[in-house]
Amino acid sequence: EIVLTQSPGTLSLSPGERATLSCRASQSISSTYLAWYQQKPGQAPRLLIYGASSRATGIPDRFSGSGSGTDFTLTISRLEPEDFAVYYCQQYGSSPPYSFGQGTKLESK
Amino acid sequence: EVQMLESGGGLVQPGGSLRVSCAASGFIFSSTAMSWVRQAPGKGLEWVSSISGGGFNTYYADSVKGRFTISRDNSKNTVDLQMNNLRAEDTAIYYCVKRWSYLDYWGQGTLVTVSS
């Protein structure tokens, strides 16, 4: 089973700043098979990025994903107040099982 | 508009059974794989199970294999998760999600609490 480790656990930034979130896999995965989700309190997760770098429908272009092999990054270029949330990465292959990272909480400084 | 509406959550005793259901709309259900993902209180996300569009292929996390069964009714656009021999650690919000692989639309979830 592939284990995903996200860092940092908590990231404290101010609106307008740039956020960089990391996701590291225990073994190499195809960049085709890495997704990022955003979850706000009391809400279901929302797909942000799939295929490591493709934005989902309706996702603003301040969100971008990159990486390959075992190291992947979600970047938010300029934080808006609504971006403070928990972010999860997920690996998926051609079929299950799938795994999620433990999450990074992005909080307002 | 794509929608998933879960139902059937509630309080159940350890060792008991519960069936949660999901009614989907807004997409071609019969050709779309579906998944269940859960989230224990204050914890992260855990993939639970997936089923192919035709229902012939099913997958389970090791933590629920042999206890949970996923099924679907393409005539009604519904997907169910039958949960048997429930444990305290199964307490979570259960989300119905469109697709396997990346998960593009999520329901609001239904809470399952396993407690005596």
For residue range B77-113, what is the model confidence (pLDDT) as tens digits?
999 999 999 999 999 999 999 998 899 999 999 999 9
Rounded Cα–Cα distance for residues A83 and A100 (Å): 20
Cβ-Cβ contacts under 8 Å for B30 (sequence gap 6 or more) = B53, B54, B74
Query: What is the nearest CA distance from B80 to chain A, expressed in angstroms?
Result: 18
Verify whether the Cβ–Cβ distance A96 to B108 is below 8 Å.
no
Q: Which percentage of chain A shows pLDDT scores above 70?
A: 98
Q: HSE of A55 in the Cβ direction (CA atoms, 13 Å)?
A: 10
Whether residue A5 contacts residue A23, with contact meaning beta carbons closer than 8 Å, is answered with yes
Which residue of B2, B38, B96, B102 to mutate against A (max A Cβ within 10 Å)? B102
Nearest Cα to Cα of residue A23 among A91, A78, A92: A91
Nearest Cα to Cα of residue B90 among B14, B6, B22: B14
Q: Which of B44, B100, B108 has its CB closest to that of A100?
A: B44
Rounded Cα–Cα distance for residues A76 and A65 (Å): 9
Verify whether the Cβ–Cβ distance B100 to A102 is below 8 Å.
no
Whether residue B6 contacts residue B21, with contact meaning beta carbons closer than 8 Å, is answered with yes
pLDDT at residue B105, as a whole number = 96
Nearest Cα to Cα of residue B70 among B45, B94, B43, B50: B50
C-beta atoms surrounding B88 within 10 Å: 10
Q: Which of B57, B59, B102 has its CB closest to that of A50?
A: B102
Collect all residues of chain A within an 8 Å Cβ-Cβ radius of residue B44.
88, 100-103
CA distances to A35, A42, A48, B106, B109 from A45, in Å: 12, 10, 9, 7, 10
Collect all residues of chain A within an 8 Å Cβ-Cβ radius of residue B108.
43-44
Question: Residue B63, Cα to own-chain centre: how many angstroms?
Answer: 14
Q: Which of B50, B95, B100 has its CB closest to that of A44?
A: B95
Task: Locate the chain B residue with the closest alpha carbon to A42.
Answer: B108
**Virtual torsion, Cα B11, B14, B16, B21, nearest 10 deg:** 50
DSSP summary character for residue A56 = P
Across the range B62-66, mean pLDDT stands at: 96
Q: Per residue in A56-86, pLDDT tens?
A: 999 999 999 999 999 999 999 999 999 999 9
Verify whether the Cβ–Cβ distance A35 to B50 is below 8 Å.
no
Query: What is the nearest CA distance from B100 to chain A, expressed in angstroms?
Result: 8
Q: Per residue in A4-40, pLDDT tens?
A: 999 999 999 999 999 999 999 999 988 789 999 999 9
pLDDT at residue A32, as a whole number = 80
Mean pLDDT score of chain B? 97
Tokens of A83: 């971006």
pLDDT at residue A34, as a whole number = 95
How many CB pairs (< 8 A) connect A and B? 64
Collect all residues of chain A within an 8 Å Cβ-Cβ radius of residue B104.
47, 50, 56-57
